Structure 1
Amino acid sequence: MAKHPIFAAHKINVARLALGATILASAATAHVTGTAIAATANADKQPVASKAEHAGIKTATTDENKINVTAAQVLALAKSQVGTSENAAGGGTKYQQWYANSQRAAETIARDGGSRAEYLNAPWCAMFISWVGEQTGARPQIGWDAWTVAHAKWFKANNRFGTVAKPGAVVYFSWSGSKDISDINHVGFVVKDNQDGTVSTVEGNTGNGKVEERVRPKSQIVGYGYPEYAA
């Protein structure tokens, strides 16, 4: 899914998404929407701290956001959600409901178009990741978004994106095998590197619209976002 899933899935006519994963928001728009997750080439020249500030996500280095959440705590909550399922319309989960009512939804609507109601039945893999971050108190480290591409770009903008599987890392998939962030289709949490060319994960909106534990081939992985967890 090159486009924001909420709009790609429901065929919403959003001009900003017509260019797919290439995000051409102006610096003025980034200021208004509070999002540098989808920054322009000019915004890419800004210091990382400035980007995170514009993204509406405080960095994990401030006293206010002292890191006190571990990868084990995040994975424990994610695993506790296994079996949670969407309804026949592709909605009904607490992850979608939480995101639709969040401050972040207002920001991503300003960035991408659409409305809060449309998140209620939209693909929710990234909303699941965001919800886990919120519930554990690790949101400043994990970030929050409904669009997998924008979420991955936030990690990259903060120099926290790479190619090594680590427990608690946010893992981004492209079913085509592409290694381009713009081609990301899906997201989950890394549970462990199985050292056999596969990674064990816990993911939302997988299988038949459920939270599940999966084993994925590394050939489908674009990269990993690394939250700054407590030891």
Structure 2
Amino acid sequence: MRAPKSHVRVALATTLLAGAALTGSAAAAGFAHADSSRAGDANIAPVGRADLHPEASPLFSVARRLPKVSADQVLRLAESQVGVRENGYGGGTKFHDWYMNSPRARETVARDGGKVTDYRNAAWCDMFVSWVGDKLGIRPAMGWDAYTVSHASWFKENKRWGTHPVRGAVVFFGWDGGKLLHNIDHVGFVIKDNGDGTIQTVEGNTGNGKVEIRTRPTADVVGYGYPVYTA
């Protein structure tokens, strides 16, 4: 969900490469530009949509340097957390503890204001998504944040944003029906497209503060971020 007010002062045009390992040194490492050679792309699982222009995304170059991870592995880990719940309203999960102790927390505090301890009681749906990517070693190909709008903006800036539900995609919801990034309120992972105007998802900070598998109408979806999976 959206972060507290101290964490929402961010320009949607901000382009942040995920992870401290990429911040500041991305261009020098060659991660800031698409690889013009497609020779290495054979090991990268496509999302099945030609209109995503994968060759234009710097994430393909990044992904080849990461552990080989599939959408199924991401969903297995996410679904293994079903039932984990907060100890009190908006806080008390391992996802909060992990995020507050991550370098990303210091980066987002510097960006949005406030202090790291503010995350202790913050909405944690995006911390859950980010935790999954971190545990599997693919956060530079999935992004990590506590603020859903900024995370969605990161996918868009990296040319991995679209409107098609794909297994393993990061799905961003807006409860007021708007389709602009600033309408985003919540985030999770797509398990499957049910083909009837709904999707099955796994989400954190839902159902009275826990991880659950949900069925959601696609009318509530603002868009999808497509991590680059390599297995």
Q: Which residue of structure 2 aligns with residue 179 of structure 1?
A: 179
| C-alpha distance in structure 2 between counterparts of 1:208 and 1:88, whole Å | 10
SS in 2 for 1:120: helix
Report the TM-score, using the length of structure 2 for normalisation: 0.78
Give the Cα–Cα distance (whole angstroms) in 1 for the partners of residues 208 and 110 of structure 2: 30
Taking a change above 3 Å as real, the CA distance of residues 179 and 87 of structure 1, as seen in their structure-2 partners, is same
Q: Distance between the aligned counterparts of 2:165 and 2:185, measured in 1?
A: 18
Aligned to 1:131, the other structure's residue is in SS state helix
Amino acid across the alignment from 2:188 = G
CA contact (8 A) 2:4 2:123 kept: no
- Give the distance between the partners of 2:228 and 2:118, measured in 1 at CA: 31
Identity among equivalent positions (%) equals 54
State how 1:1-231 maps to structure 2 within 5 Å.
5-8=2-5, 12=6, 17=9, 22-23=11-12, 34=23, 49=32, 59-62=59-62, 65-66=65-66, 68-231=68-231
Structure 1 residue 24 displacement after superposition:
7.4
Name stretches of at least 5 consecutive residues in structure 2 with no aligned partner.
Answer: 16-22, 25-30, 34-57
Q: Secondary structure at the match of 1:68?
A: coil
For residues 216 and 95 of structure 1, do their structure 2 counterparts lie closer, same or farther at Cα, with a shift above 3 Å needed?
same
RMSD, aligned α-carbons: 2.7
Segments ≥4 residues shifted beyond 4 Å: 21-26
Q: Deviations over 1:97-155 (max 9, x none)?
A: 10011000110000001111111110000000000000111211111000000000000
Q: Write the letter of the residue equivalent to 1:165.
A: P
Residues 29-53 of structure 1 deviation map (CA, whole Å, 9 limit, x = unaligned): xxxxx59xxxxxxxxxxxx927xxx
Contact 1:59 1:65 survives alignment (8 Å): no
TM-score calculated relative to the size of structure 1 = 0.78
Q: Secondary structure at the match of 2:176?
A: coil
> Any unmatched runs of 5+ in structure 1?
27-33, 36-47, 51-57
